[in-house]
A and B are shown apart, each in its own frame.
Chain A
């Protein structure tokens, strides 16, 4: 099956710093990528949808200025958490899809801890 990678797999940062998370589709072209956030013992919540070459579409309640998403190529999307605070500590998962196929392929996730 299709493979999606994320880097880093975990990151610890100080409050106020920015953190960038990469999501790559390794063996297919991802026309659409999705970013999810998962707090401990909770479900995955969609943060935003990004189509290659277009601005991301954010879900209600997600601050677009805080969570910057760039999908500049068909194999790479990045999520930058700007001025991170402890409440941003979470598990961030990306998924990727080719065109409008129904299958999304999930990355292994990135665990962010903000001290």
Chain B
């Protein structure tokens, strides 16, 4: 079965705090792709990152960083020094050999000034 779990439904942090959004996935495929998307209140999905199953290197992009661990089937996303503009719903997604993108339930992040 292919599945993406984001256990945190809602998170609130105070501006400048660091926050980590958890993502756990399930797949039997050896080749797969993981994504993170941001959905601000406007509704339009914003692509953040793609990672393939063969590349376990962590990645940092500005205040964003991602920790991919195949051993625990996790692909966590950390925002450092959060800002109000980071307030949004964040989706983790999985694309497998079935060629479909499966989205997790999303985590709603509120950054309080």
Contacts and interface: CB of A to CB of B under 8 A. Distances in A.
A49 B100 contact: yes
B50 A108 contact: no
B44 A43 contact: no
Given A102-B33, A102-B95, A43 B106 contact: yes
Contacts, number: 44
B103 interface: yes
A62 to B, nearest CB: 13
Interface residues of B, number: 20
A46, A102, A111 interface centre (most CB from chain B within 10 Å): A102
B102 to A, nearest CB: 8
B98 to A, nearest CB: 10
B78 to A, nearest CB: 21
A106 interface: yes
Contacts of A95: 101
Given A102-B33, A102-B50, A44 B103 contact: yes
A81 interface: no
Contact of B43 (A42, A43, A111): A111
B105 A43 contact: yes
A95 B95 CA distance: 14
B100 A43 contact: no
Interface string B82-113: 00000000010001000111111110100000
A32 B14 CA distance: 41
B45 interface: yes
Interface of A: 1, 34, 41-46, 49, 91, 93, 95, 100, 102-109, 111
Given A49-B100, A102-B50, A103-B47, 17 more contacts: A1-B47, A42-B105, A43-B103, A43-B104, A43-B106, A44-B91, A44-B103, A93-B45, A95-B101, A103-B50, A104-B101, A105-B47, A106-B37, A106-B44, A106-B45, A107-B44, A108-B43
15 contacts: A42-B105, A44-B45, A44-B103, A46-B101, A49-B99, A93-B45, A100-B99, A102-B50, A102-B95, A105-B47, A106-B44, A106-B47, A107-B44, A108-B42, A108-B43
